[in-house]
């Protein structure tokens, strides 16, 4: 399934659009019968230039409107991301301005074609064409800020990852190096897909798995759920909270050996923060690296955490299927 913004094409600035349309219009070679008087030829040519320029501008503007999905209809996960990146209200205002401009250009073209049909000499036809161009440029100038916003928005939105928000999704959390991506690889049927996420420089990893209850997604989001939330800026926090629209369950992975580089206390703090911020999403507590973990380390984690956990070794592929089974049973209950 594609993400809703994947087909947005790049947006020209007001200036670029004017240059593009007028340059093309001046090249447009309309076929005019040979034996018509010179003045009629010139007038036809001017009409053709106005029509062509307007058509090119209007098409470009309408394309922006057509390619943008209806923001009310897209999945809340993507709507939330669009809101963080650009602002849904702002996007709508910009699209409204583009719609206005495209209608104005259409109307103006009709008026000028009519006026040109009545032009009485070459200089009047030339003046009318120049006037029409001037007015088209001025309409575009009036929406230049909005076009600029849409141009920047397109660059960001087109890069959002393609996840299927309708598919049951498990998000994997825990500090860096605890074994999240090793786990995702182990439980995915094929090689996990890698996608960019505009809120972090790291790539997110999306695995899929066929189960007896249907296909599910397992997502590792490096850079999001692997650092204390108190260290996050507003945008990162919102990007984390957007996961609530996607995740049906979270698997939180602890590394009791601390070979990941983070003390158990920090890991438990992160767990508590995530649990508090994403309240409604059930969390499965999992301890990884069972192959090298010592009894005392497990005991210490139990004391600090004060909750039960499952144990696995993602590297040795032991206990992994049980973790997935338990998480699936929660997904199905929900
Ligand atoms: P992530 O940053 O949480 O995605 O962690 P990785 O999956 O990249 O794993 C970090 C390191 O821990 C790698 O060197 C893995 O090979 C190692 N690792 C992952 N799972 C296990 C495990 O169950 N046992 C041991 N001994 N090492 C593991």
Q: In the CATH hierarchy, which fold is given to the domain comprising 169-333?
A: Rossmann fold (3.40.50)
Please, what sign has the CA dihedral across residues 237, 242, 243, 248?
positive
Residue nearest to atom 24 of ligand 1 (CA): 289
pTM: 0.86
Determine the 3-state secondary structure of 202 from DSSP.
Answer: strand
Query: What is the pLDDT, as a whole number, of residue 75?
Result: 94
To the nearest whole number, what is the mean pLDDT of the chain? 93
- Going by alpha carbons, the residue nearest to atom 1 of ligand 1 is 177
Give residue 23 CA to ligand 1 midpoint distance, Å: 58
CATH of domain 14-157: 1.20.120.1190
Question: Encoding tokens for residue 146?
Answer: 């909005």
Residue 172 phi, psi (nearest 5): -100, 130
Pocket lining for ligand 1, CB < 6 angstroms: 176-182, 288-289, 291-292, 313-315
Q: pLDDT value at position 320?
A: 97
| pLDDT tens sequence across 47-73 | 999 999 999 999 999 999 999 999 999
Q: Are the CB atoms for 179 and 256 separated by under 8 Å?
A: no
Residue nearest to atom 2 of ligand 1 (CA): 177
- The helix/strand count (H/E) of the chain reads as 11, 7
What is the per-residue pLDDT for 141?
A: 98
- The domain spans of the chain are 14-157, 169-333
Q: For 254-283, what is the mean pLDDT?
A: 94
């Amino acid at each position: 399934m594609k993400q809703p913004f994947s087909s947005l094409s790049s947006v020209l600035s007001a200036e670029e659009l004017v240059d593009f349309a007028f340059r093309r219009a001046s090249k447009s070679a309309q076929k005019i019968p040979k034996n018509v008087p010179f003045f009629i030829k010139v007038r036809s040519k001017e009409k053709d230039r106005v029509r062509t320029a307007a058509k090119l501008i209007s098409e470009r503007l309408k394309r922006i409107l057509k390619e943008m999905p209806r923001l009310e209809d897209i999945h809340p996960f993507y709507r939330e991301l669009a809101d963080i990146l650009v602002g849904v209200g702002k996007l709508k205002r910009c699209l409204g301005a583009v719609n206005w401009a495209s209608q104005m250009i259409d109307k103006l073209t009709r008026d000028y074609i009519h006026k040109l049909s009545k032009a009485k000499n070459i200089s009047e036809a030339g003046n009318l064409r120049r006037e029409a161009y001037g007015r088209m440029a001025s309409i575009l100038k009036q929406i230049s800020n909005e076009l600029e916003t849409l141009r920047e928005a397109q660059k960001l939105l087109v890069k959002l990852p393609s996840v299927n928000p309708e598919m049951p999704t498990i998000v994997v959390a825990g500090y860096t190096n605890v074994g999240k991506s090793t786990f995702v690889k182990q439980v995915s049927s094929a090689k996990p897909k890698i996608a960019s996420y505009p809120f972090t420089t790291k790539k997110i990893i999306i695995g899929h798995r066929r189960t007896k209850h249907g296909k599910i997604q397992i997502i590792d989001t490096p850079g999001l759920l692997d650092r204390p939330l108190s260290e996050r800026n507003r945008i990162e926090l919102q990007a984390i909270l957007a996961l609530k629209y996607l995740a049906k369950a979270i698997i939180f992975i602890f590394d009791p050996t601390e070979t990941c580089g983070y003390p158990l206390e920090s890991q438990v703090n992160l767990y508590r923060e995530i649990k508090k911020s994403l309240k409604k999403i059930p969390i499965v507590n999992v301890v990884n690296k069972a192959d090298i973990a010592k009894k005392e380390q497990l005991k210490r984690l139990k004391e600090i955490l004060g909750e039960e956990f499952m144990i696995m070794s993602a590297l040795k592929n032991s206990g992994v299927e049980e973790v997935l089974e338990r998480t699936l049973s929660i997904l199905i209950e929900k």
